Amino acid sequence: MQAVVLVGGQGTRLRPLTESRPKPMMSLVDRPFVAHQIDHLVRAGVRDVIFSCGYRPDALESHFGDGGAFGVTLNYVVDPEPLGTAGAVKNAEPLIHADRFLVLNGDILTDLDLHAMLAQHQATGAVGTIALTPVEDPSAFGLVRLHGDRSVEEFVEKPSADELRPGEPYRINAGTYLMERGALEFIPAGQKVSIERETFPAIAATGGLYGYPSDSYWRDIGTPASYLDANVDVLAGAVTTEAPTPGPYLAAGVSVGSATIGSDACIGADTQIANGASVQRSVVGARVRIGGGAQVRGALLGDDVVVEPGAAVLEGVVIGDGAVIGAGCEVRDASIPTGAVVHPDGRVLAAS
């Protein structure tokens, strides 16, 4: 079995953190996010992986190389221009030699049972099978409706209340697909094509698309809130990964004075946390300095950030690499640009 991992998106919702790294290279506790997806594939026995890249492919290639150190054979294709989620699969076609392959969105954390999904895919004779995850409120998602035999009846994008049927399960696309080689024929070459909006409805119209409902752990890490939640979930052992648990997680070279570090905190390499500081439910990058008495709670800090003494970085804050939060400043619910300086009077100076 081969797997194509889509790792080429711009990750706009995670800016400014994705200005200096592609989303799949954002850390999830102790390793880049996509390394957990490789671990998941290796646990399922998949050893042949293709990264379909676009935005900042160098960061992926320099970390993962030929994949040997990660237990896989890894090959790369790079979009000549953004090709969308189906275009990026089509672009990998010359490297796909198996009759059947997996496709993973490179921003989904899950411990889905790939063997059980494959068993259903084979039993139904599907051209494509989409893993589905339950949601309480489907109004912000694309609802996937199935027939009794699990073939896809229809996709309902962002359904309004009157489009929902009483008692029906609310299931959405979970970003993991099994495809027969023939599915590639549904994707025109060299064009920007969305797998969700164009390719799947086309396959569904032939009756060859099936859904695989699963209750396994599932989270899309594409927003600051969900990325933070994913880190906290890994630290709590809520999802099967190879990361050390329980938290907190402190990378190599971290120095902590007499500070409070919550079990829901991830601290990047060589970060220094001074006496009296407190870090809770946050992801802190590498080489960050957190000054005496500073508080960091519910926040994402990039690399080389400085939080000066007595500052408070609170719920919903995302701080780009190298930014400085001035002594005594309180910031909440804000996105601080890369290299910006936040002054005690509340002014934000953009990066020089």
Applying CB under 6 A, the residues found at the interface with ligand GTP are 6-13, 23, 52-54, 79, 82-85, 88, 105-107, 222
Is the CB of 54 or the CB of 302 nearer to ligand GTP? 54
Nearest distance from residue 223's CB to ligand GTP, in Å?
8
Residue type, 55: Y
Residue type, 76: Y
- Identify whether the C-beta of residue 127 lies closer than 8 Å to the C-beta of residue 209: yes
Which residues are CB-contacts of 90 (< 8 A; sequence separation ≥ 6)?
A: 83, 184, 187, 188, 189, 193
Which residues are CB-contacts of 144 (< 8 A; sequence separation ≥ 6)?
A: 130, 132, 152, 155, 171, 172, 173, 211
Nearest distance from residue 344's CB to ligand GTP, in Å?
32
Nearest distance from residue 107's CB to ligand GTP, in Å?
4
Is the CB of 8 or the CB of 247 nearer to ligand GTP? 8
Is the CB of 15 or the CB of 181 nearer to ligand GTP? 15
Which residues are 142's β-sheet partners?
A: 157
Is the CB of 226 or the CB of 245 nearer to ligand GTP? 226
Cis ω before 94 (30° cut-off from 0):
no
Residues in the chain: 352
Q: How far apart are CA 239 and CA 231, in angstroms?
A: 10
Is the CB of 106 or the CB of 159 nearer to ligand GTP? 106
Question: DSSP for 159-222?
Answer: --GGGSPTT---EEEEEEEEEEGGGGGGS-TTS---IIIIIHHHHHHTT-EEEEE--S-EEE--
Is the CB of 21 or the CB of 23 nearer to ligand GTP? 23
Nearest distance from residue 244's CB to ligand GTP, in Å?
25
Nearest distance from residue 104's CB to ligand GTP, in Å?
8
Q: Measured between alpha carbons, how far apart are the two ends of the chain, in Å?
A: 49
Nearest distance from residue 279's CB to ligand GTP, in Å?
26
Describe the chain by its helix, strand, coil percentages, rounded to 5: 25, 30, 45
Catalytic residue ranges = 158
